[in-house]
Amino acid sequence: MSAGRVVMCTGAAQGIGRAMLNAFAVQGARLALLDIDAAGLATAQKELQRDYPHIETFCVTASVADDVQVAQAFDAVRAHYGRLDVLLNNAGISMNRPSLELSPADWRRAIDIDLSGVFYCCQQAGRLMQASGGGVIINTASMYGVVAAPERAAYCAAKAGVVALSKSLAVEWAESGIRVNALCPGYIRTALVDSLIERGALDAQRISARTPMGRLGTPEDVVAVACFLASDAAAFVTGHAMLADGGWTANGYM
């Protein structure tokens, strides 16, 4: 359980990040929300205060791709709460382009947000956690950080980097009591995925048929894994890339 612990989530305004906050609010955590979307953050905070009036929330607006903004955001969390126990390093974007058409700007954007942003937040969290005797970092990667797919060169490269980064930091920071793991979701029914399905960019039926469990995941499927990794039940789990993909990456048949 996370009662009283300070839990910070990036990409907190919607999707998986928003669902994670609900789960940790139920457990009684003190929450820090970070997102580039100030309006979305305000809405998320208002809803959390309405649904969980017993918990404390604190918001910071920042781009994870900007190391200065990230440092300022973590300084603000430290000033407000005095510590950080769990980082849900969740902010990210998709990038689906044919590789021969992928612009340098799109490549840099994917790497800046999906990989560099994860490192900036890990570094700041690591400094806070080391000072207070330990903590937990959960980096949201993807099943496409473990296996590859066409037309996702930048995304796969960034997410594979997140997996390797998580393992490296886990080894380096274990002696400081900091556990670092990568959470690797498959196709999850978020608002973003729903919009891609509506536009015909993703085929939900085909994805479900390709997935051994026969469906897309829900944010709650991912949240359950995050709660386990953050808990004392996972006290000996670090440097791990945990898949929540319904068996997608295990299935070599289709």
pLDDT of residue 200: 87
List Cβ neighbours of 145 (8 Å cut-off, separation of 6 or more): 156, 158, 159, 160, 161, 162, 163, 182, 184, 241
Whether 241 and 166 have beta carbons less than 8 Å apart is answered as: yes
Note whether residue 107 is domain-resident.
Answer: yes
Per-residue pLDDT of the chain (254 residues; tens, 9 = 90+): 678 999 999 999 999 999 999 999 999 999 999 999 999 999 999 999 999 999 999 999 999 999 999 999 999 999 999 999 999 999 999 999 999 999 999 999 999 999 999 999 999 999 999 999 999 999 999 999 999 999 999 999 999 999 999 999 999 999 999 999 999 999 999 887 888 899 888 899 999 999 999 999 999 999 999 999 999 999 999 999 999 999 999 998 76
Note whether residue 37 is domain-resident.
Answer: yes
Q: What's 39's domain CATH number?
A: 3.40.50.720
pLDDT of residue 254: 63
Instruction: Give the structural domain span for 57.
Output: 6-188+219-243
pLDDT of residue 143: 98
Note whether residue 200 is domain-resident.
Answer: no
Question: Both tokens of residue 21?
Answer: 């906050």
* Dist. CA 189–CA 216, nearest whole Å: 6
Note whether residue 124 is domain-resident.
Answer: yes
Strand partners, 180: 137
155 a catalytic residue:
yes
Our count of domains for the chain comes to 1
Note whether residue 66 is domain-resident.
Answer: yes
What phi and psi, each to the nearest 5 degrees, are found at residue 86? -140, 130
pLDDT of residue 253: 77
| pTM for the whole structure | 0.96
Note whether residue 249 is domain-resident.
Answer: no
* Dist. CA 202–CA 198, nearest whole Å: 8
Active-site choice (52, 81, 155, 187): 155
User: Each residue of 54-105: pLDDT tens digit?
Assistant: 999 999 999 999 999 999 999 999 999 999 999 999 999 999 999 999 999 9
